[in-house]
Structure 1
Amino acid sequence: MKKQLITIALSSLVILSGCGGGGGGKAQDRSANIDGDPALELLRAYQSDSPSAAAALDCVTLYKKNQSCLVSDIAPLGYVTSQNVTVEDIAARLVVSHAWMGDNFVSALREMPQDLLNLFRSVNAVVLSYEVRPSFYHSGTASLYIDPRYLWLSDSQWRDIYQQDDYRDAYQSQLKFITANRYLDPYGDYVLTSNTYDVDYNASRNLEQITRGLYRLLAHELAHANDYLPQDTLADLDTSQTVWWNIQRRIPANSELNRDQPLSSTMLHQMAQVSFRGEKPTQEQLQFDAATMGNEFEFDGAADFYAYSSQAEDVAMLFEAFMMHKEYQATSDVAFLVEPTVSDPNCDDYKIGWGQRDRLADSLVKARAKQVAERILLRDLGTEFSHIDENTDPLPFGAGWCEAQSYFVSGKPIIKSVQQAQSRFFFRDDFSRE
Structure 2
Amino acid sequence: MKRNFAVMLLVAAGLSACGGGSSNDSGPGAPPISGDDGITFVGETEARPQQAIAVWGQVDNQQSRNLSYRWRQVSGPSVFIADPTGPLLAISPPTSGTYQFELSATDSAGNVLQDQVDINVSGEVQTFNVTRDHMVAEGNGVSLRLYTPDSPSNINWTQTAGPSVTLDTTNPVQAFFDSPDVGIDTLLSFRVSGQVNGQNWSDDVHVLVTSELNISTPYEIFQEPVARVKAYKQDSPYASALETCVYSTQLPEGFCNIDTLPLIGQNGTPSLDDIMDKVVVSHEWMGQNFETFLRDYDTSGDLKRLLAATSAVVISYDVRPSFYWAGTAAIYLDPEDLWLTPEQRDTINEAPDYRAGFGSDLQFLMIWRYTKNNDYASLFYPRELRLTRSMTDLQPDLASLLYHELAHANDFLPPSTHASLQGPSLWDDIFLRFDRAGLVSDEISRDYPLTSSEMDGLAQVRFNGETATPTQRNYQPDDVTSFFEPDLATDFYAYSTTREDTAMMFEEIMMAHRFGIRRDVAVTNDPEVRTGDTVIVDWGQRGRVAEDKIQARASATIESFLPNLNATEIVSGLPAPTPMRAGESWNSNLSLNGTPAGVSALQQGTKVRDPRLQEPPLRSGRH
TM range (shorter): 0.7 to 0.9
Assess, with a 3 A threshold, how the Cα gap between structure 1 residues 41 and 388 changes in structure 2: closer, same or farther.
Answer: closer
Partners of 2:521 and 2:14 in 1: CA distance: 33
2:476 aligned to which of 268, 289, 303: 289
Residue number in structure 2 paired with 1:132 = 319
2:118 maps to what in 1? Answer: none
Tell me which of 565, 573, 588 is aligned to 1:387: 573
Report how far residue 431 of structure 1 moved.
3.5
How many Å separate the matches in 2 of 1:42 and 1:73?
Answer: 20
Tell me the SS of whatever aligns to 1:49.
Answer: coil
Counterparts in 2 of 1:252-331, with a 5 A limit?
A: 252-331=439-518
Query: Bigger radius of gyration, 1 or 2?
Result: 2
Instruction: Say which of 205, 229, 236 aligns to 2:420.
Output: 236
The corresponding residue for 1:15 is: none
Partner Cα distance (2:474, 2:519) in 1: 27
8 A Cα contact 2:144 2:175, kept in partner: no
Alignment of 1:7-46 (within 5 A): 7=12, 27-30=175-178, 39-46=225-232
The answer to whether the 8 Å contact 2:309/2:414 transfers is yes
Gaps of 5+ in 2: 1-9, 16-142, 147-173, 181-219
1:217 equivalenced with 2:401 (yes/no): yes
Looking at structure 2, the residues matched to 118 and 331 of structure 1 have their Cα atoms a distance apart, in angstroms, of: 23
Matched, 1:425 2:582: no
Structure 1 SS opposite 2:376: coil
Counterpart check, 1:173 vs 2:360 = yes
- Please say if 1:69 is aligned against 2:256: yes
Does 2:437 align with 1:248? no
How much does 1:401 deviate?
1.3
CA distance 1:146–1:429, shift in 2 (3 Å): farther
Question: Could you tell me which residue of structure 2 aligns to residue 14 of structure 1?
Answer: none
What residue is the counterpart of 1:87 in the other structure?
272
State whether residues 379 and 614 of structure 2, in contact with CA within 8 Å, keep that contact through their aligned partners in structure 1.
no
Structure 2 partner of 1:226:
410
| Local SS of the residue matching 2:12 | coil
TM-score (norm. length: structure 1): 0.86
Tell me the CA shift for residue 325 of structure 1.
1.0
Are 2:545 and 1:374 equivalent residues in the alignment? no
Paired with 2:329 and 2:279, the residues of 1 have a C-alpha distance of 13
Given that 2:379 and 2:616 are in contact with CA atoms closer than 8 Å, whether structure 1 keeps it comes out as no
- Superposed CA RMSD: 2.8
> Larger helix proportion, structure 1 or 2?
1
SS at match of 2:593: coil
Contact 1:337/1:354, CA 8 A, preserved across alignment: yes
Partner of 2:163: none
Equivalent residue, structure 1, for 2:50: none
For the Cα contact (< 8 Å) 1:347–1:423, is it kept in 2? no
Aligned length: 405
Q: Write the letter of the residue equivalent to 1:229.
A: L
Superposition deviation, residue 398 in structure 1: 2.4
What whole-Å deviation, never above 9, does each CA across 1:306-336 have from its counterpart, x for those lacking one?
0000010001000001110111112211012
What TM-score, normalized by structure 2, do the two folds share? 0.61
State whether residues 335 and 356 of structure 1, in contact with CA within 8 Å, keep that contact through their aligned partners in structure 2. yes
Asked if the contact 2:513/2:574 (under 8 Å) is kept, the reply is: no
Q: Partner letter of residue 427 of structure 2?
A: W
SS of 1:68's equivalent in the other structure is coil
- CA pair 42-211 structure 1, distance change in 2 beyond 3 A: same
For residues 329 and 114 of structure 1, do their structure 2 counterparts lie closer, same or farther at Cα, with a shift above 3 Å needed?
same
Q: SS where residue 430 of structure 1 aligns?
A: coil
User: Counterpart of 2:112?
Assistant: none
